[in-house]
């Protein structure tokens, strides 16, 4: 059901003591080939964690044989010592698999600033245990997905099928969810035969319309990594369009799972902007609403406050006339041509799934952003994170 759904991949998830709870915290994914083609998308935050600095460089080759991931520490802003930890982690994986360290991608998640000697020894011990536990089974894939959970309440996995090939994926992420990318670690595998250039195009096309349009709390992470690995084990040469569609389906499924598990959320909100002049305009307008704390707090209170939608979109430079806009809440048009329309009490915001429609009447483009409401529980979870 996960990264092991595609043939040619083994996985493991072990507990190495990085989490004080004793839960699984180190995951290893190995591509047994015959191919080792890979592509990746990394956070655009200039404050990049050490694993991101390593992995982005290592992936210049277009090749990866393994991905080692840990929760329980982000290894970000931990200086030269932290970078050495990442390097030693890749080397340890390489020794076990008898490959080069350059073929090992490293991902970490947890508290920024965590990455001391205890952390290093924990990760290295986790590598040893994981290397001994590698299996090509659904159960192993699930354990790997569980090992990267932080404040996630459930493991996140997805699968899609193409003509003669499969795509599988796992993800973690529940907070610091914002574009470029949503805050998360994602590993996607496929047994299709594809070169790294094709994987790169497919992955960028997929993330652009999925993870990049998930904006739960507007906060961009330092550790975001999305990897796509191809083993070629199916022997099926994938049509690029079909591969892209399958990868996009997996990314979309995982992005929705991330939204549904966002920290403290009580509403899963889709903000759909229609009749925009361009797709970029539609994304800009939807994102500005997704980032309005006042709008998000209103949704938490089941208050269809359309004025806060208009106040948010008025801060953008998208092409539209602010006084000619329609706004719907769960299908009820509350604002028409910039004036009040249907009564607010016609809107039922008690369901968790919430749809905001915004018609700009400026063109033919459409885009949607997924977000969540701003709740007491969000504040609580994020004020207690480090404790």
89 is catalytic: no
Among 278, 303, 330, 355, binds a second copy (CB under 8 A): 303
Q: Does 323 bind a second copy (CB under 8 A)?
A: yes
Q: Does 382 bind a second copy (CB under 8 A)?
A: yes
Residue closer to a second copy, measured from CB, 316 or 366 = 316
- The answer to whether 215 touches 182, Cβ cutoff 8 Å, is yes
CA distance linking residue 359 with residue 336, whole number of Å = 9
- The answer to whether 225 touches 40, Cβ cutoff 8 Å, is yes
From residue 60 to residue 99, what is the string marking binding to a second copy with x (rule CB under 8 A)?
A: --------------x-xxxx--x-----------------
| Alpha carbon distances (Å) from 382 to 146, 220, 255, 301 | 21, 15, 21, 20
User: Token pair for residue 334?
Assistant: 């509350």
Which one of 114, 183, 189, 371 is the catalytic residue? 183
Q: How far is the CB of 28 from a second copy (least distance, A)?
A: 26
Among 182, 283, 310, 360, binds a second copy (CB under 8 A): 310
327 forms bridges with which residues in the sheet?
335, 358
CA distance linking residue 164 with residue 148, whole number of Å = 30
Among 297, 361, 365, 366, binds a second copy (CB under 8 A): 297
- The answer to whether 299 touches 354, Cβ cutoff 8 Å, is yes
| Alpha carbon distances (Å) from 69 to 24, 115, 208, 318 | 11, 14, 23, 40
From residue 332 to residue 351, what is the string marking binding to a second copy with x (rule CB under 8 A)?
A: ---x-xxxx---x-------
Q: Does 182 bind a second copy (CB under 8 A)?
A: no
- CB under 8 A: which stretch of 54-62, 101-109, 110-118, 126-134 binds a second copy? 110-118
- The answer to whether 275 touches 361, Cβ cutoff 8 Å, is yes
Among 103, 152, 200, 217, binds a second copy (CB under 8 A): 217
- CB under 8 A: which stretch of 138-146, 149-157, 237-245, 289-297 binds a second copy? 289-297
Backbone angles phi, psi at 214, to 5 degrees: -105, 120
CA distance linking residue 13 with residue 127, whole number of Å = 10
Q: Where are the beta strands (DSSP E) in the chain?
A: 9-14, 26-31, 37-42, 66-70, 104-108, 156-161, 166-172, 185-190, 225-230, 268-276, 326-329, 332-336, 339-340, 353-359, 365-372
Among 305, 328, 354, 372, binds a second copy (CB under 8 A): 305
Among 137, 161, 163, 315, binds a second copy (CB under 8 A): 315
- CB under 8 A: which stretch of 7-15, 227-235, 237-245, 370-378 binds a second copy? 370-378
Q: Does 307 bind a second copy (CB under 8 A)?
A: yes
Residue closer to a second copy, measured from CB, 60 or 384 = 384
Q: Does 374 bind a second copy (CB under 8 A)?
A: yes
Q: Does 292 bind a second copy (CB under 8 A)?
A: yes
From residue 1 to residue 40, what is the string marking binding to a second copy with x (rule CB under 8 A)?
A: ----------------------------------------
CA distance linking residue 384 with residue 387, whole number of Å = 5
- The answer to whether 125 touches 21, Cβ cutoff 8 Å, is no
Q: How far is the CB of 351 from a second copy (least distance, A)?
A: 17
Name the one residue in this structure whose structure tokens are 């050490």.
50
Residue 38: which of 302, 232, 236 has the closest Cα? 232
| Catalytically annotated residues | 183
Q: Which residues sit at the interface with a second copy, rule CB under 8 A? A: 45-48, 74, 76-79, 82, 111-113, 175-176, 217-222, 291-294, 297-298, 300-301, 303, 305-308, 310-316, 322-323, 335, 337-340, 344, 374-376, 378-380, 382-387
């Amino acid at each position: 059901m996960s990264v092991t759904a595609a043939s040619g991949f083994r996985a493991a998830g072990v507990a190495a003591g990085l989490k004080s709870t004793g839960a699984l915290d180190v995951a290893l994914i190995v591509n047994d080939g015959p191919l080792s083609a890979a592509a990746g998308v990394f956070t655009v935050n200039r404050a990049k964690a050490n694993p991101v600095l390593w992995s982005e460089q290592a992936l210049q080759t277009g090749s990866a044989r393994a991905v080692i991931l840990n929760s329980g520490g982000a290894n970000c802003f931990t200086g030269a010592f932290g970078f050495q930890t990442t390097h030693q982690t890749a080397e340890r994986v390489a020794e076990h698999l008898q490959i080069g360290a350059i073929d090992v991608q490293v991902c970490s998640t947890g508290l920024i600033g965590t990455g001391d000697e205890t952390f290093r020894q924990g990760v290295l011990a986790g590598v040893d245990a994981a290397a001994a536990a590698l299996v090509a089974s659904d159960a192993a894939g699930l354990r790997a997905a569980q090992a990267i959970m932080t404040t996630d309440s459930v493991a996140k996995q997805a699968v899609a099928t193409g003509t003669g090939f499969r795509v599988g994926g796992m993800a973690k992420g529940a907070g610091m969810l914002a574009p470029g990318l949503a805050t998360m670690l994602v590993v996607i595998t496929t047994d299709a035969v594809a070169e790294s250039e094709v994987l790169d195009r497919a992955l960028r096309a997929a993330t652009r319309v999925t993870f990049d349009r998930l904006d739960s709390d507007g906060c961009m992470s330092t550790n975001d990594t999305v990897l796509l690995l191809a083993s070629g084990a199916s022997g099926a040469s994938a049509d690029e369009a079909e591969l892209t569609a399958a990868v996009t389906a997996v990314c979309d499924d995982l992005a929705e799972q991330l939204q549904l598990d966002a920290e403290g959320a009580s509403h899963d909100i889709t903000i759909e902007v229609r009749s925009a002049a361009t797709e970029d305009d539609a994304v800009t307008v939807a994102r500005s609403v997704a980032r309005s704390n006042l709008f998000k707090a209103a949704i938490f209170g089941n208050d269809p406050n359309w004025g806060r939608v208009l106040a948010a979109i008025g801060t953008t430079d998208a092409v539209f006339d602010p006084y000619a806009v329609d706004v719907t809440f769960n299908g009820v048009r509350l604002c028409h041509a910039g004036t009040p329309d249907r009564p607010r009490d016609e809107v039922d915001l008690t369901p968790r799934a919430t749809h905001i429609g915004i018609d700009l009447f400026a063109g033919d483009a459409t885009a949607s952003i997924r977000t969540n409401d701003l709740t007491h529980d969000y504040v609580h979870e994020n004020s207690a994170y480090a404790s």
